[in-house]
């Protein structure tokens, strides 16, 4: 009964390729996020969606395009992958966009660009 799941968990690809990471939450939450954790373990928000609507876009290159087909899913598509995109990408969700509720994180997807 995974609350927030991501596929794949590991992704190895060549520079220049296009790839997608999928995220699903079965918690009934309205708000979902993508975070990037770099090689030094620093975590930074990339995007946030609330009920399929984009509410945060943190100066991420436009090669990254999130898509939310419904409020339980938030996918991340990356075009023309670069070496610097290698990182762990975390999806997270919380009940709604306000309040202080904790964010529930997925297991992360380790992306390696060769």
Contact residues for other proteins, defined by CB under 8 A: 31, 33, 35, 40-45, 48, 55-56, 58, 88, 90, 92, 94, 97-100, 102-103, 105, 107-108, 110
DSSP β-ladder status, 10-13 and 109-113: parallel
83 strand-pairing partners: none
At 42, is the secondary structure helix, strand, or coil? Answer: coil
Q: Would you say 10 or 80 has its CB closer to other proteins?
A: 10
Whether residue 23 contacts residue 109, with contact meaning beta carbons closer than 8 Å, is answered with: no
Q: Would you say 27 or 43 has its CB closer to other proteins?
A: 43
In the complex, the smallest distance separating the C-beta of residue 16 from other proteins, rounded to whole angstroms, is 27
In the complex, the smallest distance separating the C-beta of residue 44 from other proteins, rounded to whole angstroms, is 7
Distance CA 63, CA 83 (A): 13
């Amino acid at each position: 009964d995974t609350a927030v799941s991501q596929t794949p968990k590991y992704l190895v690809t060549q520079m220049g390729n296009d790839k997608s990471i999928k995220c699903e939450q079965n918690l009934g939450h309205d708000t979902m996020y993508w975070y990037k954790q770099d090689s030094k373990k620093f975590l930074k928000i990339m995007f946030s969606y609330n009920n399929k609507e984009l509410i945060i876009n943190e100066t991420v290159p436009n090669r990254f395009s999130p898509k939310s087909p419904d409020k339980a899913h938030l996918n991340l598509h990356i075009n023309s992958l670069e070496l610097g995109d290698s990182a762990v990408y975390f999806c997270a969700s919380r009940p709604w966009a306000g309040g202080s509720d904790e964010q529930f994180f997925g297991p992360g997807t380790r992306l390696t660009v060769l």
